[in-house]
């Protein structure tokens, strides 16, 4: 499957041609969010899949999210593919693979709607930033019983309204205004390939994904006491205590959807989440990151709240925090910088974690600096009890 970027269909066509030439058969599901590619691999009894997508990255970026035999490739595994390409170490079959096509959207919507139906209607404004999720999200949320108002849901790889990255507050400005103007209960934003979710309240407050993970953890732990809950190094320091208070086992891990999925299998976690907006449900789902399915699960929780939706958000732990802060560098510089920084860094009185960059936790707050996995940037985040 492929997203709505201007280069994606051509890349997908070339990829398909190449894979067929090795004798491997291909099921092409066409224009589709990344989670639907994963879903198709589970439901169509394929164990491997590739989504052609630039995700939340700049419009001129593109790439592949690759799953081989149920395992999402990362790091050295991707480098191994690069080395095979350079060495031209590719099988050419005498008989090419077989190509079939299928529209997986109706099955995906039906599968979720059979499991999730809202106790009462919730009015949601949906902003897909002209990413590929716009072709599916309004229909899916309507199918589970939501009242949906859609903005920027026509798929356009030029991204004419704003960039499809809900982790940057500037991309949520139009959603916030629309939610306030329409009297909606909630606003939902999606990234370019639909595997990440952003949330704003009826008051226009941005609820960062680490807080949303608290709600998901509470819900899942009601049915799975003691379950492992995974979160990445960019998440709030309040998550650990919140998970423990609700009877779960908190696990902090490296950022990156492929790394999180591998850790989920290792720990048998029921749910995981990242500050970037990736949510991974093993309970009632398949363990892959899916912003669209996460939105449905969030509306399910909110629709069942006895004291109303705003009360749910008001009950979350407070504190002052920044969004993800990004510093651009030249290609490849980010990793060398982090190595030097970690070697020299001294933070007196802090608990230091170096599983991904360096995170320093004090009793009153914490700070993080790490290298982006996908772009030449440093990513920073800070949180404390008070703004001072």
With both helix axes pointing from N to C terminus, report the angle between 34-43 and 291-303 in degrees, rounded to the nearest 10: 90
The beta-carbon contacts of 147-153 under 8 Å, at least 24 apart in sequence, are 147/121, 147/122, 147/123, 148/123, 148/124, 149/123, 149/124, 149/125, 149/178, 149/182, 149/184, 150/125, 150/126, 151/125, 151/126, 151/127, 151/175, 151/178, 152/127, 152/128, 153/126, 153/127, 153/128
SS3 content of the chain, % helix, strand, coil (to 5): 35, 25, 40
Question: CA nearest 44: which of 293, 291, 286?
Answer: 286
- Residue by residue, what is the 3-state secondary structure of 45-86? CCCCEEEECCCCCCCCCCCEEEEECCEECCCHHHHHHHHHHH
- Tally the C-alpha atoms within 13 A of residue 15's C-alpha that lie toward its C-beta: 22
Contact 160, 191 (CB under 8 A): no
Catalytic site residue 167? no
| Strand partners of residue 360 | 352, 367
Largest CA distance in the chain: 68
- Please report how many Cα atoms fall inside a 13 Å half-sphere around the Cα of residue 112, on the Cβ side: 31
Beta-bridged to residue 2, according to DSSP, are: 31, 52
Q: Whose CA is closest to 125, among 172, 192, 163?
A: 172
Residues 223, 332: Cα–Cα separation, whole Å:
44
Q: Which of 8, 55, 258, 276 is catalytic?
A: 55
Q: Which residues are catalytic?
A: 55
């Amino acid at each position: 499957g492929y997203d709505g970027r201007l280069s994606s269909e051509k890349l997908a066509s070339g990829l398909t041609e190449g894979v067929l030439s090795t004798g491997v058969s291909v099921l092409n599901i066409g224009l589709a969010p990344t989670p639907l590619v994963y879903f198709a691999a589970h439901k169509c009894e394929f164990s491997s899949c590739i989504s052609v997508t630039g995700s939340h990255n700049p419009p001129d970026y593109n790439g592949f999210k690759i799953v081989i035999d149920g395992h999402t490739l990362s790091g050295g595994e991707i480098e191994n593919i690069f080395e095979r390409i350079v060495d031209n170490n590719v099988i050419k079959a005498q008989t090419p693979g077989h190509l079939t096509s299928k529209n997986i959207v109706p099955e995906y919507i039906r599968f979720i709607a059979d499991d999730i139906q809202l106790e009462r209607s919730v009015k949601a404004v949906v902003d897909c930033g002209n990413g590929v999720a716009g072709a599916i999200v309004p229909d899916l949320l309507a199918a589970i019983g939501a009242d949906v108002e859609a903005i920027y849901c026509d798929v356009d790889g030029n991204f004419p309204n704003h960039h499809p990255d809900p982790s940057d507050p500037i991309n949520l400005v139009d959603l916030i205004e629309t939610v306030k103007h329409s009297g909606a209960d909630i606003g939902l934003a999606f990234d370019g390939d639909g595997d990440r979710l952003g949330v704003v309240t009826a008051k226009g407050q941005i609820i960062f994904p680490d807080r949303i993970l608290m709600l998901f953890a509470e819900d899942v732990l009601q049915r799975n006491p003691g379950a492992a809950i995974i979160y990445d190094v960019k998440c709030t320091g309040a998550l650990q205590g919140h998970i423990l208070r609700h009877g779960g086992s908190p696990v902090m891990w490296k950022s990156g959807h492929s790394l999180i999925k591998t850790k989920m299998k290792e720990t048998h976690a029921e749910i995981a989440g990242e500050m970037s907006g990736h949510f991974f449900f093993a309970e009632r789902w398949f363990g892959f990151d899916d912003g669209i399915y996460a939105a449905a699960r969030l509306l399910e929780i909110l629709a069942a709240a006895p004291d109303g939706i705003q009360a749910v958000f008001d009950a979350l732990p407070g504190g002052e925090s920044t969004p993800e802060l990004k510093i651009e560098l030249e290609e490849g510089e980010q990793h060398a910088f982090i190595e030097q920084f970690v070697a020299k860094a001294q933070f007196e009185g802090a608990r230091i974690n170096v599983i991904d960059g360096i995170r320093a936790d004090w009793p009153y707050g914490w700070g993080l600096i790490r290298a982006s996995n996908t772009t030449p940037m440093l990513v920073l985040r800070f949180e404390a009890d008070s703004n001072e």
